[in-house]
């Protein structure tokens, strides 16, 4: 391996790989990252980093102060949780926890941010300002760690936050950057429909919640197609309907569950308002009522142009311009790093991990998902060098 700058040398690359493999072998679900937290804490302590505190129960924050006095504060964030998926790779360090797998690469994010934290700690005499390195639990499921970290106040005073996500669509050796929206904002929706039960053969004596629910699902599809500017991406997906008790009874209730995705917070407000209005109207048309509940959901992940350009230029210098992919379109997936937007400007870059020759091409959340580990020191070097430039005030 060629020497990457600022202390991401072969010794540290080995450390990142071995920590990553240990975490991969012992994956933990959201908000249960106890062993992962303990491992990261041990590694930080072993590296001489002693200002480490618990955050969001199973997460950690490590603070590093530059030796050149006060300056700007930068946050780094890696997520730590795994998914309820049975691993189907033949890796020697495949998951030992049945039904749990690091299929979204959060093991690599934790190890890379740990490696970057160690490299920056070793170089702390050379910069001013402060680093807050977050090892965040529960990116995948509520209660989301990103929200809890931001609400805990540990990011107060931070002027920028960097993070990364592995990307099996981008070849190893490259990174992907994008200013503006990178990932969609989401929201869970539940609509409870109330009707009146009656005999199936005397429908006029009841109010059919099944019919009302079907009408609501149809009506909601007119939101993206007829009510929102077609140039504004919106997804309204109903993934589940539950209703009725018997085939010869008019159902007196139905429950509709789904999710929405937007790339603009104003559009989200309008879509939620329209869902309420259309569900209410469609239910009334059938003599029923509808009640909308929204819950959870991530904000839109808005990459700050300045921070994104910092990563882009760092990528150009370390990897060459050809190896910095400009991501043309945002994704309608969502990610809880978006909550950090509420604390400071943020930027998340994508780290290429695809290797066609080795067959590492499976998508995220797939049981055969495999990472090309030669990406690990590249991710760490991009973070370390971007952090150095930010703290040196050159960006
Ligand atoms: Ni992920």
Q: What is the 3-state secondary structure (H, E, C) of 88-124?
A: CCCCCCCCCCCCCECCCCHHHHHHHHHHHHHHHHHCH
In this structure, the answer to whether residues 134 and 277 fall within a common structural domain is no
In a domain, 102, yes or no: yes
Q: What are phi and psi of 198, to 5 degrees?
A: -160, 175
What does the angle CA 289 – CA 292 – CA 293 come to, to the nearest 5 degrees?
145
In this structure, the answer to whether residues 49 and 142 fall within a common structural domain is yes
Task: For ligand 1, an ion, list residues with CB under 5 A.
Answer: 104
In a domain, 3, yes or no: no
> What total of structural domains would you count in the chain?
2
Q: Percent of the chain at pLDDT above 90?
A: 96
Measured in Å, residue 165 CA sits from the centre of ligand 1 at: 7
- Residue 381: predicted pLDDT: 97
Measured in Å, residue 293 CA sits from the centre of ligand 1 at: 26
- Give yes or no for residue 394 having a pLDDT over 80: no
Measured in Å, residue 284 CA sits from the centre of ligand 1 at: 41
Measured in Å, residue 349 CA sits from the centre of ligand 1 at: 12
Indicate the pLDDT class of residue 258, thresholds 50, 70 and 90: very high
Measured in Å, residue 225 CA sits from the centre of ligand 1 at: 30
Q: What are phi and psi of 165, to 5 degrees?
A: -140, 135
In this structure, the answer to whether residues 316 and 268 fall within a common structural domain is no
Helices (H), the chain: 10-25, 34-46, 106-122, 145-151, 209-220, 222, 265-284, 305-319, 375-391
Measured in Å, residue 129 CA sits from the centre of ligand 1 at: 29
- Give yes or no for residue 111 having a pLDDT over 50: yes
| 270, 228 contact by CB (below 8 A) | yes
Q: What is the pLDDT of residues 167-187, one digit of tens each?
A: 999 999 999 999 999 999 999
Measured in Å, residue 283 CA sits from the centre of ligand 1 at: 37
In a domain, 175, yes or no: yes
In a domain, 1, yes or no: no
Q: What is the pLDDT of residues 6-59, one digit of tens each?
A: 678 999 999 999 999 999 999 999 999 999 999 999 999 999 999 999 999 999
Q: What is the pLDDT of residues 272-310, one digit of tens each?
A: 999 999 999 999 999 999 999 999 889 999 999 999 999
In this structure, the answer to whether residues 371 and 252 fall within a common structural domain is no
pTM: 0.91
Measured in Å, residue 10 CA sits from the centre of ligand 1 at: 27
* Domain end (from 295, 326, 341): 295
Q: Count other Cβ atoms within 10 Å, centred on residue 3.
A: 11
Measured in Å, residue 268 CA sits from the centre of ligand 1 at: 22
Q: Is the dihedral angle over the CA atoms 310, 71, 388, 379 positive or is it negative?
A: negative
In this structure, the answer to whether residues 141 and 226 fall within a common structural domain is no
* Domain end (from 295, 310, 336): 295
In a domain, 116, yes or no: yes
Measured in Å, residue 86 CA sits from the centre of ligand 1 at: 17
Mean pLDDT over the full length of the chain? 96
Q: Percent of the chain at pLDDT above 70?
A: 98
- Residue 4: predicted pLDDT: 66
In this structure, the answer to whether residues 81 and 204 fall within a common structural domain is no
Mean pLDDT, residues 62-81 taken together: 97
Domain residue limits at 56: 10-183+301-391
In a domain, 198, yes or no: yes
d(CA 387, CA 393): 10
In this structure, the answer to whether residues 325 and 246 fall within a common structural domain is no
Measured in Å, residue 84 CA sits from the centre of ligand 1 at: 13
Measured in Å, residue 364 CA sits from the centre of ligand 1 at: 8
């Amino acid at each position: 391996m060629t020497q990457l700058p600022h202390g991401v040398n072969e010794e540290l690359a080995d450390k990142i790989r071995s920590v990553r493999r240990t975490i991969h072998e012992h994956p933990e679900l959201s908000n249960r990252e106890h062993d992962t937290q303990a491992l990261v804490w041990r590694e930080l302590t072993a590296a001489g980093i002693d200002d480490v505190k618990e955050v969001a129960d199973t997460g950690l924050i490590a603070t590093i102060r530059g030796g050149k006095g006060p300056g700007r504060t930068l946050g780094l964030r890696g997520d730590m949780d795994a998914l309820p998926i049975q691993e189907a790779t033949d890796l020697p360090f495949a998951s030992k926890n049945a039904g749990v797998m690091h299929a979204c690469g959060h093991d690599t994010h934790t190890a890379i941010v740990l490696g970057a934290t160690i490299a920056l700690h070793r170089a702390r005499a050379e910069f001013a300002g402060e680093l807050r390195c977050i090892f965040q639990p529960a990116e995948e499921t509520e209660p989301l760690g990103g929200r809890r970290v931001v609400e805990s106040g540990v990011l107060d005073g931070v002027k920028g936050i960097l993070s990364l996500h592995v990307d099996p669509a981008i070849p190893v050796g490259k990174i992907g950057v994008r200013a503006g929206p990178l990932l969609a904002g989401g929201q869970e929706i539940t609509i409870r429909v109330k009707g009146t039960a009656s005999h199936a053969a005397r429908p006029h004596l009841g109010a059919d919640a099944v019919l009302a629910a079907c009408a609501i699902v149809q009506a909601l599809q007119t939101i993206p197609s007829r009510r929102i500017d077609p140039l504004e991406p919106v997804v309204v997906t109903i993934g589940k309907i539950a209703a009725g008790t018997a085939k010869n009874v008019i159902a007196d209730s139905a429950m509709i569950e789904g999710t929405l995705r937007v790339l603009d917070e104003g559009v989200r407000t309008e879509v939620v308002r329209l869902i309420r209005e259309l569900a209410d109207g469609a239910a009334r048309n059938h003599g029923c009522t509808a009640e909308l509940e929204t819950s959870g959901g991530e904000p839109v992940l808005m990459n700050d142009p300045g921070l994104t350009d910092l990563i882009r230029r760092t990528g150009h210098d370390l990897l060459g311009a050809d190896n910095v992919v400009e991501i043309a379109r945002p994704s309608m997936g969502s990610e809880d790093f978006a909550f950090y937007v509420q604390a400071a400007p943020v930027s998340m870059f994508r780290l290429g991990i695809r290797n066609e020759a080795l067959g590492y091409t499976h998508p995220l959340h797939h049981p055969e998902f495999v990472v090309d580990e030669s990406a690990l020191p590249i991710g760490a070097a991009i973070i370390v060098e971007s952090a150095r430039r930010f703290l040196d005030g050159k960006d």
